[in-house]
Structure 1
């Protein structure tokens, strides 16, 4: 398989995973968060009951790991191409900063407080404060996901345009012939 094929696969996979991650965060923002955070701590208890079989913690960690791995692999694959290098590297860095590191530092401790610690371990006022902080901080994750997806998609478009231009340059057309055979 040619290097260009690997670059194409990497860019498509990275763009798809980044868009899936951003789409998931956006959907969570408009469908789950209004129900989870509207009346803390009572709404947090209902969310615990609702999210017993599956929840965001089952979906986002494996998807996030795939975005990081695909981002690193695609950065390596595209490093020699100046037109793509920084788009892919930036997408990877934004995702790692806004989705992974920010989540570890900011969201994971708040998730523990709201959804793992025993019910009644924290005062209702403290739970409301933590829920408000979580929702406010979520904007960073949402913006980071949007920027990551946009950067990855831009790299994919730049590669596709270049690849299409190279294919067009290899085809010579003789006047009067439309089949591109040149003869």
Structure 2
């Protein structure tokens, strides 16, 4: 596989994983969150009962790791190209900051309180407060996912545009630049 094909494949994978992550967060926002956080603590109890076979914690960690790995691969493959470097690096930084680090330090402790600690450990008032904090903080994750997807897609579009220019300048018989 040539470097150009590998770069194309990695950028497509980056866009795909970033969009899957953002789409998952967006869908979760409109479909799950009103049911999970709408009437805490009763809604938290229903969520515990419902999300037993699988839930966001089964979907997002492997997908997030895929986004990070494709960001790293894309950064390595595009680092020499100044026109792409900062789009890919920006996608990586935004994703790691808004999705991974923010989740670790903000969401994971709140998930423990709402879904792991035994029922009755925390007062209803405290659970309502934690649920409200979670929903408010979720906006950072939603915006971060959108920005990551846009940056990754922009890198892919710029790479495709620049590759198209190079290809149009190539001699059709040899494939070499004129």
TM surpasses 0.5: yes
- 1:13-34 per-residue CA deviation (whole Å, 9 max, x = no partner) reads 0000000000000000000000
Deviation at 1:96, TM superposition (A): 0.1
Superposition RMSD on alpha carbons, in Å? Answer: 0.8
Supply the distance in 1 between the matched residues of 2:69 and 2:161 (Cα, whole angstroms): 25
Moved over 2 A (4+): none
The aligned runs of 1:93-108 (5 Å cut-off) are 93-108=93-108
Query: TM-score scaled by structure 1?
Result: 0.93
Supply the distance in 1 between the matched residues of 2:27 and 2:168 (Cα, whole angstroms): 40
**Which residue pairs with 1:57 in the alignment?**
57
**Which residue pairs with 1:181 in the alignment?**
none
**Which residue pairs with 1:166 in the alignment?**
166
- 1:20-56 per-residue CA deviation (whole Å, 9 max, x = no partner) reads 0000000000000000001000000000000000000
Supply the distance in 2 between the matched residues of 1:89 and 1:147 (Cα, whole angstroms): 12
Matched, 1:12 2:3: no
Supply the distance in 2 between the matched residues of 1:65 and 1:5 (Cα, whole angstroms): 23
Supply the distance in 2 between the matched residues of 1:153 and 1:171 (Cα, whole angstroms): 29
SS of the residue corresponding to residue 161 of structure 1 reads: helix
Deviation at 1:6, TM superposition (A): 1.1
Deviation at 1:171, TM superposition (A): 4.8
**Which residue pairs with 2:138 in the alignment?**
138
The aligned runs of 1:27-42 (5 Å cut-off) are 27-42=27-42
**Which residue pairs with 1:175 in the alignment?**
none
Supply the distance in 2 between the matched residues of 1:159 and 1:89 (Cα, whole angstroms): 14
Query: TM-score scaled by structure 2?
Result: 0.95
Supply the distance in 1 between the matched residues of 2:68 and 2:141 (Cα, whole angstroms): 15
Supply the distance in 2 between the matched residues of 1:4 and 1:89 (Cα, whole angstroms): 19
5+ residue gaps, structure 1:
173-183
**Which residue pairs with 1:124 in the alignment?**
124
SS of the residue corresponding to residue 170 of structure 1 reads: coil
Aligned length, in residue pairs: 172
Supply the distance in 2 between the matched residues of 1:65 and 1:92 (Cα, whole angstroms): 11
Supply the distance in 2 between the matched residues of 1:82 and 1:27 (Cα, whole angstroms): 34
The aligned runs of 1:58-73 (5 Å cut-off) are 58-73=58-73
